[in-house]
Amino acid sequence: MRIRRLLVAMLAGTVAAVGAPVSAQADDQDPPEVPATPGAWIAGVGGFVYDEPGTVGHQIRFGVLGWVDRDGTGHGVFRFRHALPDGSVVGEGHAEVTCVSVVGDTALVTAVVPKGGSPMVNHVFVIKIIEGGPGRADQIETLQAGGDPTRPAKRYCIDTAPYNLSRYPVRPGGYAFGT
């Protein structure tokens, strides 16, 4: 439960505050690395609305075009936008895709905000997309961390499963991915 509260606090503090992102605590363990899938790709734009305490009604939009070359290096761009329920934007920018992993109906993407990409330098976005299938919306789980300009960001893929995060339907939009 402690890690759940930490993740929610990081999410609320990091995205809502344009400027001073929250860093992970030094005693937190690094999440296990998931290898990139050579030849994997993902493309799409999607939105969802949070219903977590402190972020109820916040509108999130992610756009991604990413791929992994045959050497296992991730490439691409990840765009993000965070608006309050009244529509006012509290954060937006871009990040560099550093990892894409695709297994079956699930894609993992990691993207790191570069200097100049937003006030949140070294901020890491981790998204997990589960394909919805015919007539059903894709599902998304998100995790964010880092934001310390003096500490390198995690650049590998991370599976959100160990964190028991909320899963949201992607509406509007969707993502396509494969290998």
Cα separation, 126 vs 34, in Å, equals 12
Torsion (CA) 33, 39, 40, 42 in degrees, nearest 10: 130
| 8 A C-beta contact, residue 14 and residue 21 | yes
Which tokens in the block code for residue 75? 């490439």
pLDDT, tens digit, for every residue of 40-54? 999 999 999 999 899
Average pLDDT over every residue of 7-14? 36
The domain spans of the chain are 2-172
Supply the pTM of this predicted model. Answer: 0.80
* Mode of pairing for the β-strands spanning 139-146 and 123-130: antiparallel
pLDDT, tens digit, for every residue of 73-115? 999 999 999 999 999 999 999 999 999 999 999 999 999 988 7
Strands (E), 85-122: 89-103, 106-112
3-state SS class at 175: strand
Average pLDDT over every residue of 22-27? 32
Instruction: Give whole-number Cα distances, 8 to 99, 123, 149, 165, in Å.
Output: 23, 15, 21, 9
> Which amino acid does the sequence have at 88?
S
